[in-house]
Structure 1
Amino acid sequence: MTPWEMVAVFAAGVGAGGINSVVGSGTLITFPVLLATGLPPVTATVSNALGLIPGSISGAIGYRKELVGQGRRVLKLSAGALVGGLGGATLLLTLPSTAFERIVPTLVGLALVLVVLQPLISKKVRARREARPQDSARRDVGPLLLLGLTLASVYGGYFAAAQGIIYMSIMGMLLDEPMQRLNGIKNVLAAVVNSIAALFFLFAAHFDWTAVLLIAVGSALGGMTGAAVGRRFSPAALRALIVTVGTAAIVQLVLR
């Protein structure tokens, strides 16, 4: 990896850490940059998962105020995230790399669609919640919520792009909580999935240590910054950046 490539990977890590703590989809920043350095797609995904752990943790810590009073709920959902993340990581290494290279452009495309539709999804969720009276049952962890988030965690363990948006959509429909409190839960679940997948990858997969360290340092800085000032970012600008980089990733994957 050349010095300029190292700078680009570090910068991508900072951007991904900040975006993940606020919106999600930071993988759409780091993944194409890792591909551009010449890493194979599976190696890039594994290296990315390892590197984004500090960013996920710092983002979750940054939203600790929003997590007050949600300890029991977070523990239940984290158990499902752990199982799902491990399942997704196992699929990543079990399926042939050719299957991954065919599947990932589709996953990135779906992730971009979710990024674009996120404002509409959030609007629909808010409208649905406002139209219904508060129900105490919708403040706890029901089977549908646990199943939905566990399946989303399988996706996250396999390929994490837009994982946070999926979490937010599911929780927004099934929990009566302010979006910022849901965002705090989202950051914890992402940290759990990234951590269990990374632990699995440490013993079972090939990764690039240089890329891991650069993304780890960058994402930790970005996660703290994103949690601190993320509410001031323009959502439209963030979505535009994610869609642009994600489109570049699809083009690069198809042309490989």
Structure 2
Amino acid sequence: MSGLDHLLVVLAGFGAGLLTSTVGVASLLSFPILLAVGLPPVLANASNTLGLVPAGAGAALGFRRELRLHRGLTYRVVLLAGIAGSVGAALLLALPPGVFEAIVPWLILGTCVLVGVQPRLSAWLAVRRASSGRSSARVTLGPLTTFFVFVTGIYGGYFGAGAGVMMIATLALGLDVDFRFVAALRTLSVMASNVVAGAIFAVVAEVDWPVVALLAVSSIGGGYLGARIARRLPATVLRIAVVLAGGAAAVALLI
């Protein structure tokens, strides 16, 4: 790669770090740039997954106050996403490239809709629970939420573009917690999926280590800065940003 290519990768890492902790579509920025500088798709995917792990770590540091709110819940979601990430990595190595290309944009669009309507839908579900005598707030993972966290973790380990938006929709609908905590937990869970998938790629797949290093170094700062920005945004503004970014990502994948 040329010096300009290296600069593009560094900028992609920083931008992806920002997106990791704000709107959750980091790979939609970094992955196309890796393709543009000449990496084959599977090599670019594995290198991107490893390179963006520090972005999640930087974001987790920025979100540390929010993540302390529900420690037990945080540990369970992170563990679940990490296990699921190993399944996603195995699928990437076993299945033909691009096997999910047709369905991914529609999954992202659907989860964008869920993120947008989540406050009204959660209020309706709360009324339903109250009428049935179950009015307590949901701060633990139910069976359905557990299933969708696991499925989203698999997708994160497999490819990951838009996985953050999917995880936000899953957690926001399945739990009665502050949306900023949801954003923080989304970031940490996607990182857990990437850590496990990245470890597998490092051992059994081809990885471009110079690209991984450039992404890793530049994405740490972006992840931390993005978390600081997301912490200060009103929940409604953050929600709108997630929906807009997810919609743009879905359209980009469709075309």
**TM-score strictly above 0.5:** yes
Residue 86 of structure 2 aligns with an amino acid whose one-letter code is: L
1:51 CA drift (Å): 0.4
Q: Is 2:109 aligned against 1:113?
A: yes
Matches within 5 A, 1:77-226: 77-95=77-95, 99-104=96-101, 106-107=103-104, 109-110=105-106, 113-114=109-110, 117=113, 120-128=116-124, 131=127, 133=130, 135-136=135-136, 138-226=138-226
Task: Measure the CA separation in 2 of the matches of 1:146 and 1:67.
Answer: 19
Q: Deviations over 1:74-117 (max 9, x none)?
A: 2222221121100000110112xxx223433642x236525753
Deviation at 1:122, TM superposition (A): 3.6
Aligned pairs for 1:24-63 within 5 A:
24-63=24-63
**How far did 1:144 drift?**
1.9
Distance 2:106 2:7 in 1: 29
Deviation for aligned residue 1:164: 1.1
Q: Is the contact between residue 118 and residue 173 of structure 2 (CA under 8 Å) also seen in structure 1? A: no
Name the SS of the counterpart of 1:100 in structure 2: coil
| Amino acid in the other structure paired with 2:183 | N
- Residues 226 and 115 (structure 1), Cα distance of their counterparts in 2 relative to 1, 3 Å cut: farther
**Does the 8 Å contact 2:60/2:187 carry over to 1?**
yes
Q: Which stretch of the first structure deviates more once superposed, 238-247 or 150-159?
A: 238-247
**Cα distance in 2 between the residues matched to 1:129 and 1:114:** 19
Amino acid of the structure 2 residue aligned with 1:163: A
How far apart, CA to CA, are the structure 2 residues paired with 1:29 and 1:242?
12
Q: 1:41 to 1:145 in 2, by over 3 A?
A: same
How many percent identity over aligned positions? Answer: 31
Q: Which runs of 5+ in 1 are unaligned?
A: 252-256
Q: Which residue of 2 aligns with 1:254?
A: none
Given the superposition, is the C-alpha separation of residues 106 and 41 from structure 1 closer, same or farther in structure 2, using an over 3 Å criterion?
Answer: farther
Between 69-78 and 136-145, the greater mean CA deviation after superposition: 136-145
What is the alpha-carbon root mean square deviation over aligned residues? 2.5
Higher helix share: 1
In structure 1, distance between residues paired with 2:242 and 2:173:
23
Q: CA, structure 1 residues 19+74, in 2 after alignment: closer, same or farther (shift >3 Å)?
A: same
Length-normalised TM-score, structure 1 = 0.85
Aligned length, in residue pairs: 247
CA distance in 1, matches of 2:246, 2:6: 21
SS of the residue corresponding to residue 140 of structure 1 reads coil
- CA, structure 1 residues 73+205, in 2 after alignment: closer, same or farther (shift >3 Å)? same
Give the deviation of 1:180 after TM superposition.
0.6
The two structures have a TM-score, normalised by structure 2, of 0.85
Q: Is the 8 A contact 1:118 1:165 kept in 2?
A: no
Superposed displacement of residue 219, structure 1? 1.2
Contact 1:121 1:169 in 2 (8 A): no
